Structure 1
Amino acid sequence: MNDTKTGVRTVTGRVKWFDPARGFGFIVDEAGGSDILLHANVLRNFGQGSIADNAGITVLVQATPRGSQAVEVLAVMPPVEGDRSVELEDLGNTPLEMIETLPIEPARVKWFDKAKGFGFANIFGKAEDVFVHVEVLRRSGLADLTSGEAVSLRIIEGKRGRMAVAVMPWDAGISREAVRVVPPLREPGRGPDLSVRKVAVQR
């Protein structure tokens, strides 16, 4: 879809690379053409602080004097890597259809160590830890998490306790209509502070 008045067009492609430390990355348009700049602020407006290499992505793109640039992220899809995906023992034979019916729960990252390959998060209003594996993160189209980052999770009871089977942007688990209009607190590189949003309803 193209908007000739604003020069904005919709593009679907894959992430060539994205570096949160540098604050940008590039998208390869599946239809061909030059690479598209993806700025960290644009990704953050979608509710993510990182994105996995080769993840599918749909964005609104605008031409600038410096080249094509994404101005809004519309959707993120997990990377497609065939048989390279690592199977998680705790997931067992859980079908995708069942995972997609699990409730979406707002959470905050307690800590995540990409080198170790895992970390933990806490569901908003609950104290127990939820295990987050780096492979689940990758399958969700993310590359990394930072302590204190707001996310949404789908969770199962694994062999070692509660574990995330999907990680999504923070607002995926919040009904915007059911949240009081309170300006969220923001910190650089993080989502809003859910502690000030007292009324939240799962979809």
Structure 2
Amino acid sequence: MRSFETGIMGEDNSRNLISGHVKWFDPTRGFGFVVAEDGGPDILLHANVLRNFGQSSIADGSAVTVSVQHTDRGVQALEVHEVVPPEGDGRAALEDLDFPDTDHSDLPLEPARVKWFDKGKGFGFANVFARPEDVFIHVEVLRRSGLADLQPGEAIGLRVIDGRRGRMAALITSWDSALRGENEPSEASEDVD
């Protein structure tokens, strides 16, 4: 593996580390674009590159650090190194759910699979391993977690709170991210495929 350099990429096709933000990403189309902090052309972010990081989607506006390469077709991300979810936009989208806006990193990470998620409706459900009840997932929690969409059967990690209507996700991470040690998975994590 080559070493990384910070700055705009050279014409020698060497990898460079770039910080920026997601302009947009469409998991259905399988790609999106990143805008570099220092300007320059948009950077193509392909779904396969994002999947190698352990996510199938990413929220618009998320801060990212990527390795890029200049090609005949433009600038392309080769590897995602870091994703930071976008800041809140000031809307109280979760007010109707009686959702406290606090840090939930002290809650245990529960292994789960997405049952279904409809971005248009703004919610979905997941099944936590070895638990009979569903966990409600709100699109705003998904966005705050740095994700844009979820696919049925996708393995995820959830930090769950008890809401007025039952268990609901307070924080969501891709299971691959949890296994890399970015979160503390529960003991049941070894049973998730």
TM range (shorter): 0.7 to 0.9
The runs of 5 or more residues in structure 2 that have no matched partner are 182-187
Measure how far apart 1:76 and its partner are: 1.4
Map 1:75-86 to 2 at 5 A: 75-84=82-91, 86=93
Give the Cα separation in 2 of the matches to 1:166 and 1:53: 17
**Which position in structure 1 is the counterpart of 2:5?**
2
- Asked whether the 8 Å contact 1:59–1:74 carries over to 2, the reply is yes
**More moved, 19-28 vs 1-10:** 1-10
Map 1:38-187 to 2 at 5 A: 38-84=45-91, 86-88=93-95, 89-92=97-100, 94-96=101-103, 99-174=104-179
TM-score normalised by L of structure 2: 0.81
Give the Cα separation in 1 of the matches to 2:152 and 2:167: 19
- Asked whether the 8 Å contact 1:120–1:130 carries over to 2, the reply is yes
Structure 1 runs (4+) greater than 4 angstroms displaced: 3-6
Q: Give the SS at the match of 2:90.
A: helix
Give aligned-pair identity as a percent.
57
Give the Cα separation in 2 of the matches to 1:144 and 1:79: 15
The runs of 5 or more residues in structure 1 that have no matched partner are 177-197
Count of residues paired in the alignment: 177
Measure how far apart 1:199 and its partner are: 6.5
The CA deviation string for residues 64-116 of structure 1, in whole angstroms up to 9 with x for no partner, is 22221111111212223542352443323x522xx111122221000111122
**Which position in structure 1 is the counterpart of 2:184?**
none
Letter of the 1:2 partner, please give it: E
Asked if 1:200 corresponds to 2:180, the answer is: no
The CA deviation string for residues 133-171 of structure 1, in whole angstroms up to 9 with x for no partner, is 011011111111111111111111111111101111112
Measure how far apart 1:127 and its partner are: 2.6
